[in-house]
Amino acid sequence: MRKQTYKNIEHIIVDDGSTDNLDDLVADYIASVDYEVKYIKKANGGKHTATNVAWDNSEGDFIIQLDSDDEFMPDTITKLVDMYRQIPDDEKSEFWCVTGRCVDQVEKKLIGEPYPEDINSMEVSRAKSIADTISGDKVGLMKREMLKNLRYPEPECVTFVTESRLWSGLTKKFRTWYSNEIVLIYYINENEGNTLSDPPKTQQTYSNYSYNLKYELENKELYGVFGVSLCRKVLLYAVYYELSTEEYKAKYSIYLTDDKQANLLLMILRIPVKLLKNYIKKRWNVI
């Protein structure tokens, strides 16, 4: 953040119940910069709750999020603001964000496939359709006014709510400006090939998976889950639910709202999943 070439920013740091020396680090950081820094401490509740707090305390026109295991390029914010300025003035109200791309910290290679060079000049539905097939992480500069009435739910027994819970609705209503500009270094564990913030596969992890997949299955039209994909996700959901914590299972029913066919399939699948639970835990290395 200190290296950013764009200085008209407020930096909101949310301490989500950390137990290290973050207070000292932040104090030194605040003393070394000439832009506003808001430091907010809260009890640990997961990234989704920290995001809600940050958004509630933001005052800028745009929001960009930086996770603790990622790194901005020095010109990240400058590039993203310049992308927004490329949008014709009479079309700006149609867009909710602009997105750039990420590289890994080892080989500095693009994560995923590049967007087609002409994607922003395509018909809107075609551009969205192609963008949905492009793998790899993206970084968005989001209009704060679009997020005004959006907040992550904060369910009990759940420590992570997936970003798609909010983005799916926004991407259907508004446009996105796509760019292959590299704006973020995405740090991975070189030995394991996953992000540094990936949690161990605990029962809590599967409670999170179960909650998020249940929402997706209950909103199939929004997520485009049908046919073979639906059957596969119902099976995964049955497994995730069985691997969840007892507290989670006491709080939430496995069954979906208003979906008799999926619930019938869940009833059938619960028997073999329960019988194979210990095997699955060992196979998937569930702690």
Average pLDDT over residues 154-176: 93
In the DSSP assignment, the letter for residue 181 is E
- How does residue 172 score in pLDDT terms, banded at 50, 70 and 90? confident
- Distance of alpha carbon 35 from alpha carbon 40, whole angstroms: 16
> What is the homologous superfamily of the domain 58-189 according to CATH?
Spore Coat Polysaccharide Biosynthesis Protein SpsA; Chain A (3.90.550.10)
φ, ψ of residue 283 in degrees (nearest 5): -65, -40
Question: Which pLDDT tens digit goes with each residue over 217-248?
Answer: 999 998 889 999 999 999 999 999 999 999 99
Global confidence as pTM: 0.88
pLDDT of residue 224: 86
Across all residues in the chain, what is the average pLDDT?
A: 93
pLDDT score, position 202? 93
265-285: average pLDDT: 93
pLDDT at 198: 54
Cα separation of 222 and 47, whole Å? Answer: 23
Say what the pLDDT of residue 197 is: 57
- Which residues are within 8 A (CB) of 240 and not within 5 positions of it... i.e. 6 or more apart? 206, 209, 210, 213
The burial of 284, by beta-carbon neighbours within 10 Å (0-12 exposed, 13-18 middle, 19 or more buried), is given as exposed
Hey, where are the domains in the chain? 58-189, 203-283
The two tokens of residue 165 are 């819970």
Beta-carbon contacts of 210 under 8 Å, excluding residues fewer than 6 positions away, are 237, 240, 241, 243, 244, 248, 252
Provide the token pair at 155.
């369910």
Q: Kindly state the average pLDDT of the residues 147-155.
A: 93
Q: What is the pLDDT of residue 69?
A: 85
pLDDT value of position 66: 93
User: What is the pLDDT, as a whole number, of residue 42?
Assistant: 96
Q: What is the pLDDT of residue 68?
A: 82
DSSP-derived pairing of the beta strands 175-186 and 95-104: parallel
> What average pLDDT does this structure show over 140-158?
95
User: pLDDT by residue (tens digit) across 183-215?
Assistant: 999 887 665 555 555 556 899 999 999 999 999
